[in-house]
Chains A and B, each alone.
Chain A
């Protein structure tokens, strides 16, 4: 017996005014990248002394997790599932610098402990004193959809009442410099809201954390999670077939989808992979989210938050609408994101 799955709490920390809200409180424009999150005040969530020692990644992840739980009115989820592309990079970099500079002569236990990729999920368990299932996924653009799929199995099929699922990734100076060499970023400054028109190759770098509470029971205003998939693809990706694999089991057709969030990032070659969405969903509003948060491995968690917000409030910020209306309510939203044309994430929400 499969249960329906409802998102009863969500929280995002991003370069936008998103924290502890169900819709953005305005749109922040930036003239250069990387984009950094607007870090909320931690008062009332965690002991400030403990937070001071946390990396930015763990701090934003823990805050988003605790805020999502608070908004859902839950204090003890039956599963804690985190995703990150490379979340402990701050500690890894500190440990590596020390290792290289001292040629392994100086010990740095704290940075080594922090370089364990599941440190955020472990911190959440410690904060909640939770013995529950505790997982961490790292698969670049598939990290968050893997975690979401896990939560979907837990709540939908394995009898868990609540699952906390989310993601966190930061941008650091070292990561930004390293990935200049792999051509991930735009070299010249570009205004974030204009990035999709930029002819330069690469994306703008960003960061963020977003957490969701999945519940087998609905609450007032909750949004239903209808499906999620993580698909590694070699060569062309068939969005139609992939979307059907989510829509068919939900008893829906492409015509049921009235809002599509696409992971367009301003790299013209990569963005071509989203072209088929226009014809596949001719009646739907098309919107983007990466001009708001930048590109990072788990940016699609912010994309899901945007879709959740749109279904909850009935509107999408006009600045991110590519085609169609921005108000008037939406019933079914699909998020399609890919990372470097290989990692395809699909997430389907309804209300």
Chain B
């Protein structure tokens, strides 16, 4: 790619902490955010751990601080908090012309809808419910964040299951490269909801213990909630305003596995193609990658398939790799952006984060991830994978500036 695309700011809220600094500390100090469910009122709370942001509606509302809390769902509040941090970190004014917003979510405002749904049908809808009518679609949080930050012009939402926010970052990079935008806030947000916990419970892919990606004994994923955004800017715009670059988006690709509605193909064809095409778009070869932040959900299917795809691509020269879902759980539509932020932090800190709780390699792809967080690593290019239902596969490459 001839025109560099810079990451000039980032923001995140997850079970690890409410801002980027606390998230980085937890990763470096190997403190997981996965614990017993204490906030979400789900029947399954005794059964599964999760990575919750331990803030109630009013506390989160005070932290995100929209002009009025009316109609704000948890997904929208998490998103606003992280987007504000990213904007402040970059030092941009989101009201500038040619500044856009591309966000992502899978569950949208479901955390409200699942408890108020039947009230929407009443002839006289009580105000508690009325303020949330029509807020459960994924577009709601994006529109609210745009209105709150004063962003007009191009805004959109991508929902491609668990690759959603990686795709938001990829679209943002393409919009910058095409010259349509000078700056764009990209990322995603997903709150935990009974809907998603019960859904993944129905699919029988939740681990009753803290998840163990890439381990022979892995038994599924843990759910998490988070929002993460980065600010992408063109080189010309960044240097004209004398902003600073944290890293570059050097490559990206999206492919489809075209194998099954939910399952990944045994050899990870879509995943392999996404990684290969991302490398090609960056003008890099597998040997240039210094760390891989894998999708690594902890399900039998994903890790086997992704493991084989990684082995096919890198052969015997596999760089250090890990799943940071061992810290944050699987944050679904937010996970691609969460891990793009973590990949940027890896470059900043020269660190490869631990794949917590790993003990034994999988028989189908005998790979050993990073067991203890590595410091002082001369990282240049980090590959981040995000895969989703519908066969959706996205790979991003973050590089040092």
B235 close to A (CB within 8 Å): no
Contact with A along B190-230 (1 / 0, CB 8 A): 00001101111111100000000000000000000000000
B326 close to A (CB within 8 Å): no
B306 close to A (CB within 8 Å): no
Q: Known: A119-B261, A122-B261, A232-B146. Contact between A131 and B120, CB under 8 A?
A: no
A135 close to B (CB within 8 Å): yes
Chain B residue with the shortest CB-CB distance to A108: B202
- Contact with A100, one of B118, B152, B200 (Cβ below 8 angstroms): B118
Chain B residues, CB < 8 A from A234: 147, 150, 152
Complex CA gap A128/B152 in Å reads: 37
CB of B134 within 8 A of CB of A126, answer no
Chain A residue with the shortest CB-CB distance to B203: A109
For window 93-116 of B, CB contacts with A under 8 Å fall at 106, 113-114
A254 close to B (CB within 8 Å): no
B90 close to A (CB within 8 Å): no
B262 close to A (CB within 8 Å): yes
B384 close to A (CB within 8 Å): no
Chain A residues, CB < 8 A from B137: 85-86, 138, 140
Task: Report the minimum CB–CB distance from A267 to chain B (whole Å).
Answer: 15
For window 226-281 of B, CB contacts with A under 8 Å fall at 254-262, 269-270, 273
CB of A118 within 8 A of CB of B159, answer yes
Chain A residue with the shortest CB-CB distance to B147: A234
Q: Is the interface of A mostly helix, strand, loop or mixed?
A: mixed
Complex CA gap A109/B376 in Å reads: 45
CB of A140 within 8 A of CB of B153, answer no
Complex CA gap A143/B200 in Å reads: 27
Chain A residues, CB < 8 A from B389: 113, 116, 118-119, 122
Chain A residues, CB < 8 A from B388: 116, 118
- Contact with B154, one of A131, A178, A232 (Cβ below 8 angstroms): A232
CB of B152 within 8 A of CB of A233, answer yes
Contact with A along B174-203 (1 / 0, CB 8 A): 110010000000000000001101111111
Most chain B CB inside 10 Å of its own CB: which residue of A104, A118, A158: A118
For window 379-393 of B, CB contacts with A under 8 Å fall at 388-392
Chain B residues, CB < 8 A from A108: 202
CB of B160 within 8 A of CB of A135, answer yes
Chain A residues, CB < 8 A from B19: none
CB of B392 within 8 A of CB of A122, answer yes
Complex CA gap A136/B333 in Å reads: 13
CB of A138 within 8 A of CB of B159, answer yes
CB of A104 within 8 A of CB of B261, answer no
Task: Report the minimum CB–CB distance from B75 to chain A (whole Å).
Answer: 13
Contact with B along A116-136 (1 / 0, CB 8 A): 111101110110111111111
B167 close to A (CB within 8 Å): yes
Contact with B along A65-90 (1 / 0, CB 8 A): 00000000000000010000110000
CB of B178 within 8 A of CB of A96, answer no
Q: Known: A118-B390, A135-B167. Contact between A107 and B201, CB under 8 A?
A: yes
Complex CA gap A99/B43 in Å reads: 10
CB of A232 within 8 A of CB of B151, answer yes
Q: Known: A118-B160, A232-B154. Contact between A181 and B125, CB under 8 A?
A: yes
B55 close to A (CB within 8 Å): no
CB of B121 within 8 A of CB of A178, answer yes
Complex CA gap A99/B138 in Å reads: 20
Chain B residue with the shortest CB-CB distance to A179: B134
Q: Known: A134-B256, A139-B142, A142-B155. Contact between A182 and B392, CB under 8 A?
A: no
A304 close to B (CB within 8 Å): no
- Contact with A119, one of B133, B199, B390 (Cβ below 8 angstroms): B390
A146 close to B (CB within 8 Å): yes
Chain A residues, CB < 8 A from B259: 126
Complex CA gap A158/B259 in Å reads: 26
Cross-chain pair count, CB within 8 angstroms: 181
CB of B258 within 8 A of CB of A130, answer yes
A231 close to B (CB within 8 Å): yes
Chain B residue with the shortest CB-CB distance to A177: B121
B161 close to A (CB within 8 Å): yes
Chain A residues, CB < 8 A from B175: 153
B158 close to A (CB within 8 Å): yes
CB of B254 within 8 A of CB of A99, answer no
Task: Report the minimum CB–CB distance from B209 to chain A (whole Å).
Answer: 21
Chain B residues, CB < 8 A from A123: 261
Q: Known: A131-B269, A133-B254. Contact between A231 and B133, CB under 8 A?
A: no
Complex CA gap A272/B120 in Å reads: 29
A112 close to B (CB within 8 Å): yes
Task: Report the minimum CB–CB distance from A337 to chain B (whole Å).
Answer: 15
Q: Known: A119-B390, A157-B178. Contact between A126 and B261, CB under 8 A?
A: yes
Complex CA gap A129/B258 in Å reads: 5
Task: Report the minimum CB–CB distance from B179 to chain A (whole Å).
Answer: 9
Contact with B along A328-351 (1 / 0, CB 8 A): 000000000000001000000000
CB of A137 within 8 A of CB of B157, answer yes
Contact with A along B54-81 (1 / 0, CB 8 A): 0000000000000000000000000000
Chain B residue with the shortest CB-CB distance to A109: B202
A216 close to B (CB within 8 Å): no
Chain A residue with the shortest CB-CB distance to B108: A138
Most chain A CB inside 10 Å of its own CB: which residue of B113, B150, B154, B260: B154
CB of A131 within 8 A of CB of B256, answer yes
CB of B154 within 8 A of CB of A99, answer no
CB of A150 within 8 A of CB of B171, answer yes
Chain A residues, CB < 8 A from B114: 96, 99-100
CB of A134 within 8 A of CB of B254, answer yes
A220 close to B (CB within 8 Å): no
B38 close to A (CB within 8 Å): no
Complex CA gap A166/B200 in Å reads: 29
CB of A116 within 8 A of CB of B161, answer yes
Chain B residues, CB < 8 A from A179: 133-134
CB of B255 within 8 A of CB of A158, answer no
CB of B139 within 8 A of CB of A230, answer no
Complex CA gap A121/B158 in Å reads: 12
- Listed by A's residue number, 13 A-B pairs whose Cβ atoms lie within 8 Å are A95-B199, A104-B201, A107-B202, A113-B261, A122-B391, A133-B256, A134-B255, A137-B156, A137-B157, A174-B121, A230-B155, A233-B152, A234-B147
* For the complex of A and B, 4 pairs with smallest distance between CB atoms: A122-B390, A112-B199, A117-B159, A107-B202
Beyond A131-B273, A136-B160, A136-B390, 8 additional pairs, beta carbon < 8 A: A80-B256, A112-B198, A118-B159, A131-B258, A133-B254, A135-B254, A178-B121, A178-B133
